[in-house]
Amino acid sequence: MSDRSIEWENQVKQGLFADEIFSDEMKLSVLKAVERRPAYWSRQWMRLAGVVVLGIVAVMVAVNWPYGNADKAVFVSSAEARLPVAFEPLAAREMKWGQVIAQADPDILPGLSNKYNPLTNETNGYIPQIQLNDIQLLDERPIAGFGVALHYTLKPDSTAPNEIRGNPDFFGFKVNGQAQPEMLYHYGTGHMYGLQFSMTRLFGQPVLKIEQTVCRTDGEACVWYLKKNSEGQVFTYMQLDAASYERDLDGDGKEEAIIVTRKQNQIYIFKEQDGQLLWASAREALKVSRDDSIQYDHVKGSFRIHSLAGGEDAYTFQGGPDSFVRSDSNDM
Amino acid sequence: MESHLEYQYLVNTECMDKSELYDLMTAYGDDVRRYAYAITKNREQAKDIAQEVFLKAFHSVGAFKGQSSMKTWLFTIARNLAINELKSSYVRRIVLFSWVKPQTIERSAEMDYFSEQSFREIRDIIMSLSTKLREVLILTLEHELTMIEIARLMNVSEGTVKSRLHRARKIVDKRWRELEL
């Protein structure tokens, strides 16, 4: 074989299609598709499991039926009626604009996948703006009370920032009454399908919430809060690698963020004070044991503890002083 | 070269969990997508096929009997899908800029030696081969499959594989030399 042949063969051995990678985005799509299309055996297993569970429940009901002893049927909890909640400043590194987040870095709190301080400002939460002329619009969706979400590709001669190889779809938005109507906020790659937009309030101020319920490969949701500065410029205010809800739990007129993780079944409450996040763990405050689970019911604003033994306790959060107060779970 | 034992534990199992699927995609995703692209010459189609391969693998892992390597099994699925021109669409997630890792191609000494121009020329020559010849060449050189594996994958005899590989090499050699003149 000649040197010339060796040259091209070596090239082929190293791969001709380096751009053709199986990205995280593709993995996530497959994992989502798996959830949508359970395997045959999974379906069979679910049916079988349903039968088994029904059988077990029937046996348990039969064994535990009160038969004249009413005490046996009542869940007795030793939980205290009022549990204090202590908030503390969040110790987390500050992210720089455009910084690459290494997934190997430690989480800021157990079960919460953020690697940096979720709270950002006009500098590290800066969103670049590009000319509308630079884009080829594919789709748009109005966001009530905010503006219009845009799905587009960049034109070949565009000078807009693009860190992605190829010609991916992008996502951005225009804001009602923005000073430069010929510009748009150029937010990221991907499209709008699966995203939920809503105007809400967080820490006492109006924000745009962008939510993706299935976002990360580990199944966690992602939430981005955007807000305007005094000059009407939009920037990323907070971003979370978990589901997040806003509610004024303590009645001080400022909405707290209730962060709910799948990993480790954690619920955190975030407050903002002088530009700093304060946090408290509902799981810790309510002394939830490792075997028990905790849920947040956003409609009712209640925190529910499900014990392995089958009992359930419900708590609400109250301010002054911050605490969880036990409530009748049947009322919640 | 992949060890045949690496995914041997999946032999005779009826289902895999999502973490195993994720590991499988991490280990073979790039190879499957590149192989699908080598067959289809269509980026979007190759992307869809590659995703469908892992969905099928997840749903029918019971069909993996360990008679071939995991990679060859995945390639077989990819090939069938590519040939049948199955297309699927998938919802892609949004990746915000703060998450985006700039993609850079690791350049080896050999890649530095080749100019971008000559790299494109080689790729163009190979992509201009007939599918049968291109497939054998890429499976041999890039994916390092043996003659036997390729023969099984393509459902042809070993002799046919050798013949196609010989022809492919000869054509590429000839066209590559012509460019030099």
How far apart are alpha carbons A145 and A124 in whole angstroms?
Answer: 25
Rounded to the nearest angstrom, the minimum Cα separation between A90 and chain B is: 21
In this prediction, residue B12 carries a pLDDT of 65
Answer for the pair B144, A48: CB distance below 8 angstroms, yes or no. no
Q: Which among B38, B54, B95 has CB closest to A189?
A: B95
In this prediction, residue A322 carries a pLDDT of 94
* Nearest one of B30, B176, B179, B39 to A10, comparing CA atoms: B176
Give every CB contact of residue A244 below 8 A, 6+ residues apart in sequence.
A209, A211, A221, A223, A257, A258, A259, A260
Question: Residue type for B132, please?
Answer: K
Give every CB contact of residue B65 below 8 A, 6+ residues apart in sequence.
B11, B12
In this prediction, residue B110 carries a pLDDT of 45
Whether the predicted model's global pTM rises above the 0.80 cut: no
Is the model more confident about A219 or about B156? B156
| Domain segments of chain B as ranges | 1-94, 98-181
Determine contact: A49 vs chain B, CB below 8 A. Answer: no
Interchain pair B141, A5: CB under 8 A? no
Strand A323-327, strand A82-84: pairing = antiparallel
pLDDT band at B105 (very low <50, low <70, confident <90, very high): very low
Q: Which among B18, B105, B127 has CB closest to A31?
A: B18
In this prediction, residue B84 carries a pLDDT of 67
Interchain pair B93, A215: CB under 8 A? yes
Residues of chain A with pLDDT under 70: 1-4, 36-80, 98-104, 161-167, 191, 217-218, 329-332
How far apart are alpha carbons A31 and A293 in whole angstroms?
Answer: 25
In this prediction, residue A77 carries a pLDDT of 44
pLDDT tens-digit map of A22-74: 988 888 888 887 776 554 444 444 455 555 555 555 555 455 544 433 333 33
Percent of chain B exceeding pLDDT 90 equals 28
Determine contact: A104 vs chain B, CB below 8 A. Answer: no
Residues 63-92 of B with CB under 8 A from A: 90-92
Interchain pair A5, B169: CB under 8 A? yes
Q: What mean pLDDT comes out for the span B77-85?
A: 79
Determine contact: B30 vs chain A, CB below 8 A. Answer: yes
Q: Which among B43, B94, B138 has CB closest to A189?
A: B94
Architecture of domain B1-94: Orthogonal Bundle (1.10)
Total Cβ atoms within 10 A of residue B28: 25
Determine contact: B27 vs chain A, CB below 8 A. Answer: no
Residue given tokens 């739990």 in the structure block:
A249
CATH 3.40.50.300 fits B98-181, yes or no: no
In this prediction, residue A307 carries a pLDDT of 85
Write a three-state SS string for chain B: CCCCCCCHHHCCCCCCCHHHHHHHHHHHHHHHHHHHHHHHCCHHHHHHHHHHHHHHHHHCHHHCCCCCCHHHHHHHHHHHHHHHCCCCCCCCCCEEHHHCCCCCCCCCHHHHHCCHHHHHHHHHHHHHCCHHHHHHHHHHHCCCCCHHHHHHHHCCCHHHHHHHHHHHHHHHHHHHHHHHC
Interchain pair A190, B58: CB under 8 A? no
Q: Per DSSP, what are the bridge partners of residue A196?
A: A211
pLDDT band at B63 (very low <50, low <70, confident <90, very high): confident
Determine contact: B44 vs chain A, CB below 8 A. Answer: no
| Cα Dmax for chain A | 95
- DSSP annotation of A109 reads B
- DSSP annotation of A158 reads -
- Structure ipTM: 0.75
Answer for the pair A92, A117: CB distance below 8 angstroms, yes or no. yes
Q: Which residue in chain B is spatially nearest to A171 when comparing CA positions?
A: B94
Average pLDDT taken over every residue of chain B: 77
How far apart are alpha carbons A305 and A295 in whole angstroms?
Answer: 7
In this prediction, residue B68 carries a pLDDT of 79
Q: Give which of B13, B93, B99, B106 to mutate to test A binding, by max A Cβ within 10 Å.
A: B93
Determine contact: A4 vs chain B, CB below 8 A. Answer: yes
* Nearest one of A8, A28, A18, A29 to B34, comparing CA atoms: A18
Rounded to the nearest angstrom, the minimum Cα separation between A37 and chain B is: 9
